[in-house]
Structure 1
Amino acid sequence: MGERVHCAVEPAGGRRRAGGSQSRTALLRGLDDALAGAPASSGAGLLDGRLAGARAWYDQGAHARLLAALPGLISDAHHGAASRRSLDQVRLSAVYSLASTVLVKLGSHDRARLPADRARTCAEMSGFPLPGPQHTSRPSCCATRTTTAPLSA
């Protein structure tokens, strides 16, 4: 049985962050279930805003919150992508990419392969393939985090 911790995820470096009370195992199981099949839409609101919030949680190191939110994001992105519109496919790709990224960050490399492959497939279906080393532009909904801080010399 998974260890029950007050903070669900211990990031690299060994420091625990304040967060939910679910175990890391339970959070990862919820994500595994969402990846195994398209669950019913969560109806939790506009996907773009929730995806931006999820990216912010990743940037802040709030991995437990992100893992808890990903099943609903995956579900809603799947339902949106049923439209077959390019932008909806890009959104689904962005959700899968975020799932893969957080799994790699947490050291779950084997689990990260499936969402990474799905992110690539959805991006190709959208007509906006994920950039390789030779490409640097992306559709705006897939843009990486930007900063307003000045660059140091």
Structure 2
Amino acid sequence: MTAYKTSPDPRHVMPPRRLTETRGVATPEGHTISLSIGFDPEEPDRPREVFYSAGFKSGSQLEFQVQDACVLVSLLLQHGLRPADVAKSLSRDEQPDGSMPYASHIGLIVEELARPSPPCDPLETASASRGACNSRRGR
């Protein structure tokens, strides 16, 4: 049996400039929320932070809850957890068709973090003015 840790893993501090990708995520209620995902420069496929940018009524309780959820998920990622590690502990809601979507917006956020980014063609990224690959840039 392993002993409990007396302190968390050290926090992985993100550099001021890092790869960021903005994605639209559909909610079960029909909204599309925008999430900006920051990636680890040393492990470019590993998300280390997430920010909510738009989708719910400004100033609403739901907007604040999603913003706070993003902060908490970011802290988990920066302390070494991977999205799949977080996702397996979140609630799911069994549907009549047998599907098991996440029961909260937190689950949707973590599920999106677990999705791989689309592959980028460096020439496309340099020449395109918009697109999924172009959204991943140093910040």
Q: Report the TM-score, using the length of structure 1 for normalisation.
A: 0.28
Q: Which structure has more helix as a fraction of its residues?
A: 1
